Amino acid sequence: MRPPDVERAFAQVSLLGRLSGRQRARLAELATTRSYRAGSMIVRQGDTSMALYVVLSGTVRVERETDGGASIAISEVGAHGFFGEMGLLDDEPRAATVIAVEDTECALLAKWDFQNELRNDSDIALGVLPVLTRRIRELDELLAKAGSPQTT
């Protein structure tokens, strides 16, 4: 997929949709695309986080392994969704495993490229932080509904 096509896809992704067209175009130029067959593991829980993944087509399942070794499906992510965003900002291992449910194409934005763009244009952070904050709030709500202690 060509950078202009990736930029148009990025415009429909909640994490990147608040960025300017110029910012999205620059990130799209840095991105690479990869295809995954149904059933393929895209990332494994515990591995090093190196990239943000934007689903261009297809569907993936996000699952987390419990301490007892069982896998729990957390969500499914389709076109215009994303995963791996935490790895852009910290050096922690992957929090979940992601598997292609159907043939899937993703745009990958490497951590070092994203961080370099942040250094050059701090307004990118102002565009993505509200989406990251919303995800934290949604997790807090889920934990509250499950009767678990809330995080702050």
Interval 88-112 mean pLDDT? 94
pLDDT digits (tens, 9 = 90+) for 41-93: 999 999 998 999 999 999 999 999 888 888 889 899 999 999 999 888 888 89
pLDDT at position 151: 55
Q: Can you tell me the distance from the alpha carbon of 4 to that of 144, in angstroms, rounded to the nearest whole number?
A: 42
pLDDT at position 40: 98
Q: Which of 4-8, 27-31, 82-86, 139-143 ranks highest by mean pLDDT?
A: 27-31
pLDDT at position 29: 96
Interval 25-30 mean pLDDT? 96
User: What residues are paired with 62 via a beta bridge?
Assistant: 75, 98
Q: Residue 102 has which token pair?
A: 């159907």
CATH class of the domain at 3-112 = mainly beta
pTM: 0.86
Nearest to 24 by CA among 35, 13, 40: 13
Angle between helices 123-145 and 21-30 (to 10 degrees): 80
pLDDT at position 152: 56
Identify the DSSP state of 88: G
**What are the distances in angstroms from CA 54 to CA 28, 82, 84, 147?**
11, 4, 9, 32
% of residues, the chain, pLDDT over 90: 66
Q: Where are the domains of the chain?
A: 3-112
| Structural Rg of the chain based on CA atoms | 16
Per the listing, tokens 């598997």 go with: 99
